[in-house]
Chain A
Amino acid sequence: DADVTQTPRNRITKTGKRIMLECSQTKGHDRMYWYRQDPGLGLQLIYYSFDVKDINKGEISDGYSVSRQAQAKFSLSLESAIPNQTALYFCATSGSGENYGYTFGSGTRLTVV
């Protein structure tokens, strides 16, 4: 099993619909993150969580919300999807401390039509 699992892998949804992307990890790490990636742009941080009771906005949180259901689970919701939220979404986890790199999930390709 993958260390970080994202579901669904691909999703096409209509404008205005609510959609949830799910992420679970088996690394036992406290820190989890949601990023989006658009062609020609770097990964942009949407939300991050350093433990179950800690949720923080990233650079581009508008239009998104998250839920940290357990240490291992961190879900991202698009409350009312719009076409410019079409992107590749990655969940990641890391250990505590500055020199830990990230382990990413394999991504969710979301298309809003």
Chain B
Amino acid sequence: RKEVEQDPGPFNVPEGATVAFNCTYSNSASQSFFWYRQDCRKEPKLLMSVYSSGNEDGRFTAQLNRASQYISLLIRDSKLSDSATYLCVVNGASGTYKYIFGTGTRLKVLA
């Protein structure tokens, strides 16, 4: 089993739709969780951290489910500009340096 797994997609959704991605992780001791956005041939950019109680930033909501070992990202009212690849990032056990990147889920928002 991969340490961090994501559905590669692509998810093709119309503008205005709500879309959700999940990411599963294998290390139950992981403590830090992030979502990054990566545009084609560009660097990943931090979208949001994921907190235990869940958190929201505008149209984006991130949630953590420790029991089932997954994190999710919900995007409401999708915009064309949301088209990108979304990377899930999980760190190893507490105190370790190691951040594991998922291979990403590709989102295409269609006009």
Contacts and interface: CB of A to CB of B under 8 A. Distances in A.
Interface stretch (B14-22, B63-71, B101-109): B101-109
B32 A107 contact: no
Contacts, number: 49
Q: Which 5 A-B pairs have the closest CB atoms?
A: A104-B43, A101-B46, A42-B101, A43-B101, A42-B103
Interface of B: 4, 8, 31-32, 34, 36, 41-46, 49, 87, 89, 91, 94-95, 97-104
B77 to A, nearest CB: 24
B49 A107 contact: no
Contact of A101 (B8, B41, B49, B98): B49
8 contacts: A42-B104, A48-B97, A50-B97, A88-B41, A98-B94, A102-B46, A102-B99, A104-B43
Interface of A: 31, 35, 40-43, 45, 48, 50, 56, 88, 90, 98-99, 101-107, 109
A42 B4 contact: yes
A93 B98 CA distance: 13
A104 B97 CA distance: 16
A98 B91 contact: yes
Contact of B43 (A31, A40, A98, A107): A107
A49 B8 CA distance: 31
Contacts of B87: 42-43
Nearest to B48: A101
A40 B9 CA distance: 12
B46 A107 contact: no
Given A42-B4, A45-B98, A106 B43 contact: yes
A83 B106 CA distance: 27
A6 to B, nearest CB: 9
Contact of A99 (B42, B49, B97, B98): B49
A106 B8 CA distance: 23
